[in-house]
A and B are shown apart, each in its own frame.
Chain A
Amino acid sequence: MRPEKLSGIGFLFIALGLWEFAARKELVNPLLVPPLSRIVAVFWDLFSTGEMPLQIAVSMKRAALGYGLAGAVFISLGIVMGLSRPIHRALEVIVEMLRPVPPPVVIPVALLFFGLEDEMKVFVIFFSCAWPILLNTIDGVRRVDPVLLNTARTFRLRRLKTIWQVVLPAASPQIMTGLRVSLPIMLILVVISEMVGSTDGIGYFILDSQRRFRVAQMYAGMAALAILGYTLNQFFNLLHRRLLSWHWGMMRRNLE
């Protein structure tokens, strides 16, 4: 392990130790900042009874649906818009009009249409993840090197085959970027939408814990969220490495 990390970890433990100490000795209000040990205990409890995993599963189901739908719809749309100037021009106006809307503001609209159901959250996530995915896809398709397109032409590849065999793979790194950027957005919006309009899910859980003054539980929920975020990132990287192994290798070489 690198020496820098060692000092970082050391500092972390010191900070955690201070927290425990301060909370126990009531240097800070233990109602607001419970001792670390209590939080860990509650965390463990929530996990072993299965309640935490349940809430996470509920949230993840919504998130995955919204994200997946956004990916399917907007990657396809992005390819079409990237390849066809007239279509791009036609739709550009709508995109530019909808883009500046901050995602959370869409929640009341979604509430109106879908109530407190899952669909509401799925829609919100779908809407919020749209733009990074769409714009990156369009950009990726546009930036495909003309030499590659000419190569397809000299081999007399037909239009559809060219898109599938050349344009898509060539644009895939950038499409991946769009998907990667949307990942944290997905997580943020599932939490927000659950805080504003839901009766379950991890976002609701954290807020509800606060309302019932189950403070340790609230912190436990936040920790779970952080772990979830980290796990999703790692998972995405793994996928990236698998699907785009060629690009992964190229990138690492450039970093050296």
Chain B
Amino acid sequence: MLLLWELGGRAVTEYRLFLPSIIEVMGAGVQLLFSGDVARHFLVTLERFLTGYLIAAALGASLGVALGYFRLLHDLLGTVVELLRPMPSVAIIPVAILMLGIGDAMIVAVTVYASVWPILINTVDGVRHIEGALVDTGRTFGLNRRRILWQIILPAASPYIVTGLRIALSIALILVTTAEMVAGSKGLGFFILDQERSMNSSNMYAGVLIVAVLGYALNRLFVAIEARVMRWQHGMLNREAV
């Protein structure tokens, strides 16, 4: 397939602008890497991503546990949540620009907003699905509220929380790059768009490639960490499958 691209790129020279050959893209990519241009953008994007994602994780998980555990809270906020859900998170970008201008704060804010949703919803789901017996066991053993939370609720709900975190991973990357495209002056999203505007297609494709690789790497990292932390669940799942 790559061969086709390469051949196509070389053969159809007038379309060179649109679909440069692989070699050119690679060449541009390597050049960029070494020149340090892209590295700057890359780090900016990565930093924003991590900040946004981690804040969302903490916020989403804690809010999710609260909503899942306290019936009252869940009922009160339920309607509001249901009303906000159908709105695509990206629509929040203009509001964020209005309130925070264009810059890191705005980008991190929208990332947090968008990423919180899957984490929140899945955490609530997980907490609500906890068998009553588990919490009662904790009570029987005289555990206080805080210990029940840490030692029973969180571990039991963790598979669901992890699902939410996984979904949020892709969402966060999408939001960071989008925000950078809509209103940014640095970052990979901005870079790719900028290269397109300057008709620098090889660089643009190289940028796309870098983002794809980043996304892929983050995913693998997540899977690896998850396998470690959730070893107990994997064992359970494997046994069921037998």
Contacts and interface: CB of A to CB of B under 8 A. Distances in A.
A97 B173 CA distance: 17
A89 B148 CA distance: 49
A203 B211 CA distance: 24
A57 interface: no
Contact of A8 (B76, B188, B219): B76
A124 to B, nearest CB: 12
A112 B18 contact: yes
Contact of B86 (A32, A111, A112, A226): A226
Interface stretch (B52-60, B93-101, B135-143, B154-162): B93-101
Contact of A226 (B76, B87, B99, B181): B87
Contact of A102 (B18, B72, B78, B177): B177
B91 interface: yes
A105 B192 contact: yes
Interface string A66-106: 00000000000000000000000000011001001111111
B18 to A, nearest CB: 6
B77 interface: yes
Contacts of B9: none
B61 to A, nearest CB: 22
Given A108-B192, A195-B93, A229-B86, A101 B79 contact: no
Contacts of B92: 222
B182 interface: yes
Interface string B82-94: 0111111111111
B205 interface: yes
B181 A11 contact: no
B111 to A, nearest CB: 13
Contacts of B205: 109
Contacts of A219: 95
A5 B192 contact: no
B204 interface: yes
A94 B1 contact: yes
Contact of A93 (B1, B98, B216): B1
Given A104-B174, A109-B205, A218 B216 contact: no
A165 interface: no
Interface of B: 1, 17-18, 72, 74-80, 83-95, 97-99, 170, 173-174, 177-178, 181-182, 188-189, 192-193, 195-196, 201, 204-205, 207-208, 211-213, 215-216, 219
Given A112-B201, A195-B182, A219-B95, 19 more contacts: A4-B74, A8-B79, A11-B76, A97-B212, A101-B215, A102-B173, A104-B174, A104-B181, A105-B177, A105-B188, A108-B193, A108-B204, A112-B204, A113-B18, A184-B88, A195-B94, A206-B91, A210-B95, A226-B87
18 contacts: A3-B75, A4-B75, A5-B75, A11-B76, A12-B80, A94-B1, A105-B177, A108-B181, A109-B205, A188-B88, A209-B94, A218-B98, A221-B91, A222-B92, A226-B84, A226-B86, A229-B88, A230-B86
